Structure formats: C-alpha cells, structure tokens
Structure 1
Amino acid sequence: MLICLMLGIDSWISYKTSPYIYTNIAALPTRPIGVVLGTSKYIRGGGYNEFYKQRILGAIELYRQDKIRYLLVSGDNALLSYNEPITMRKDLLKAGIPSSAIVLDYAGFRTLDSVVRANRVFDAQEFTIITQQFHCERALFIAQYQGISAQCFAVPSPENMTMVRVRELFARINTFLDLYLLHKEPKFLGPVIPIIQLPKENENNVLSP
C-alpha cells in the first residue's frame, strides 16, 4: 500500500508539471529571468558532474538566444571550500555572460528554497527554471503549490539514471510532506531585491542570507 502511494505521488507530480516543461529552445516562451538550480561541479572521487555541466550549458544557450535576460544562480555555500553560486558564476563569466546579467543566491540550500526565494526575495514574477527533467518536475510542483508562475527548460540527463531516479522518488515524497503537512519555508528569506530593477552596470549583484 505504501509503495503504491509513493508511486502515485511520483506520477502525479510528473503529470501536473508536464505542460510547463520544454526541451526545445525554439518552443520555450521568453521570460526575463532564468533560475539555475545548483549542484556540485565535481562528483565524489573526482570527475566532472554531467548534471552541472548541462545546466550551465543550458543557461548559456538560453541567454545567447535571448530567452532570458538575467540568470539567478541558486545553490549552497555551506563551506568556504564549497560554493555553488560562485562556481556557477565563474563558469558563466568564462562563457561570455556579462557580470551584470548574473545574480547570486547563496541561500538555495534546497530546491524549495531556490524556487520560493526566486519569487519572494528576488521578486521574479515569471521565470524559467534550468535543470534536468526529473528535477524540473519537482521544482515546478513546488512553484505550483506556492502560486508561482514558472516554467522549466529541461537539459539533458546522463545515461545511467537508475539510482538518481530512486533518490528522486524519495525526494518527491519529502517535498509532498514539506508542502502539504509540514508547510516548510525557506531557511532564509530577507529583504526583497527585484532583479529586473538592479542596474545593469552593477558588477556585484550578490545577496547573502
């Protein structure tokens, strides 16, 4: 019974969010802000994280094709040696994205934090989330529950997704509980700083929690 319930929630999340997920850039509606969900650049034991790589490449392509004007890079900065937003910013700058188009959210500790803070802290009324398909579904489910207008550009996933998909099943159950039973909020909120009102010449568009 429990397994059926878990699989039912998993399928329901996929069904509810599927109309708002795009894989074709040409079909993707233009939005002012793209939210890049953070992950580690490298995997344990060494090697490049393909999830990270594809999210950065997707963000670069959306910006170059004028599908977004600003990139909000949201992730964890739990340690001095581990800072997802700064790492993403460095790689975006190397690709030629101007500093004025990159905004950092250091308090994107979880998907819920990243999605809700994009709306409440950075005043993003409509935005495009950039991540893999399975993650798109969970992020959009959070946005829908919160009444946030969001869509997602699904970037490619690695070939071997079995264990990732198993972990995602449990992450979705946790998200369901967080929203409907525990009514979780982001760890940090703070003052509202609208992204689209930040001056373009500002070279340090950064918000700390």
Structure 2
Amino acid sequence: MRNIARFVLTALLALVSLTAAAWTYVSHRTDRLIADAPQALAPAQAGLVLGTSQRLRSGAANPYFTGRIRAAAALFAAGKVRYLIVSGSQAHGGRGAGGYDEPADMRDALIASGVPAARIYRDYAGFRTLDSVLRAREVFGQDRVIVVSQRFHLQRALYLAERHGLAFQGLAADDVPLGWGWPIRLREAGSRLRAVGDIATDKSARFGGPPIRLGADPPT
C-alpha cells in the first residue's frame, strides 16, 4: 500500500508540474498579442467572439458573457473590425426546446448593443476553442482576426492560433474576481495542458464545412 501511495503522489506531483509549466508557457507566448482597449489593436476584417452561456445555472446573468459582448460591441464601434463571428455551440434542441444556443444568444446581445445583424456571423461548430480558432480560417477564410474573451482564455486561444501560423490578436473583456471565478481558472489549467497536447499531435477542428465569405454570403 505504501508503494501504491508513493506512486499516486508522484504521479499527482508530475501532473501539477506539467500543468503549471503549460500555464506559464502559454501565457508568456501570447501576452504581447492582447490589448485591454480596441484602440491598441491593428484593424482586422473580423472579430471572433468565443462562446459561453448567457446565464449561470442559477439563472443569473453570466459575467463572462456580459464582458465579452461589451468588448465585442466596443471593438466594432471603434471600427477595428467589419464583421463579428460568434462561435459556440447549441445543445438540447436550442432555446426553443429549453436548451441553450450560445451563437444565437451572442448575436441577439450584440444587436441589442448596436451591431447590425448583417455584420454578425454565427458559427455553431465552436465546440472547443481549437475549433473556433481553426474554423475562423478554414470556413470563414480569415488569417488575421481579433479574438474577444477574458485574458486567461485569450492566452490559450492565441497560443493555438500562433502555433497554426495565424496572425491573431486579442481584446481582453472584463474579467471577474478570482474568488468568484476559481472553478473556471481550474478548468482552464487543464485546458492549457490539453492545448499543448493538441499542438503536439496536430489536432484539427472537429468539423469543416463549405467556405463562408464574410460580406458576400448572407450571415448564417
């Protein structure tokens, strides 16, 4: 039993060390690409808003969602992008069937914030950050994009983009206090380790699709 306990402890320490190394590595590679205000960014054809649920399980507004919408609307209003791609997923039949629909919720919130509906494209195959990043190029044809999310999430998204040869920038949305959002940070630690593994194994987006030309094809 003592040998088993020693093995388990060693494995846990190794996992913690690898996770900490992945966090630091991803952060240091991408911080230079992230701005806190639109004015600090070079213009791009499109912004990519990474999905999250509009409401928490309690029914309260999700501050991560609110922050991303506010930042994306400010990015568009500043003239830094011409189009916004809202990338997320849908489950349990969507809103009409009592489920959730991240792209539709983001689109509606952006319209309410003054962004014209004709400038918003929905991506329903953004199941993971990797999918959202790669589909911005493979489906929407964009090599230069401004990604919108909270800073800790942007670091991982931009790491994935950079490693795939994409010149993406990031606009940091308002974050939430660490004491409130610690479960998200804990999940992010595991996601960064997985992202490093995805790069090492040349992981691709789960789904492709026909090309969508921003401005030429009608918004999805």
Deviation track 1:127-181 (CA, whole Å, cap 9, x = no partner) reads: 1000000000000011011111101001111113333222111110111112213
- TM-superposed CA distance for 1:196, in Å, is 4.5
**What secondary structure is seen at the aligned counterpart in 2 of 1:195?**
coil
Aligned partners of 1:123 and 1:46: how far apart in 2? 36
Aligned partners of 1:142 and 1:196: how far apart in 2? 26
Residue of structure 2 in register with 1:40 after alignment = 53
Instruction: Please say which structure displays the higher CA radius of gyration.
Output: 2
Q: 1:167 aligns with which of 172, 187, 191?
A: 187
Does 2:146 correspond to 1:146? no
Residue of structure 1 in register with 2:139 after alignment = 121
Structure 1: runs of 5 or more not aligned: none
* Identity rate, percent: 35
Query: Which amino acid in structure 2 is aligned with residue 193 of structure 1?
Result: I
Query: Which amino acid in structure 1 is aligned with residue 209 of structure 2?
Result: G
Pairs aligned (count):
200
Aligned partners of 1:124 and 1:96: how far apart in 2? 24
Structure 2: runs of 5 or more not aligned: 1-12, 94-98
Q: How does 1:102-117 map to 2 (within 5 A)?
A: 102-117=120-135
The Cα RMSD (Å) is 1.3
Aligned partners of 2:199 and 2:215: how far apart in 1? 28
Q: How does 1:16-165 map to 2 (within 5 A)?
A: 16-80=29-93, 81-159=99-177, 160=179, 161-165=181-185
Residue of structure 1 in register with 2:7 after alignment = none
Write out the 4+ residue segments of structure 1 that deviate beyond 3 Å after TM superposition.
Answer: none
**What secondary structure is seen at the aligned counterpart in 2 of 1:92?**
helix
Aligned partners of 1:93 and 1:165: how far apart in 2? 30
**What secondary structure is seen at the aligned counterpart in 2 of 1:148?**
coil
Task: Identify which range, 10-19 or 153-162, moves more after superposition.
Answer: 153-162
Aligned partners of 1:8 and 1:96: how far apart in 2? 41
Task: Identify which range, 41-50 or 184-193, moves more after superposition.
Answer: 184-193
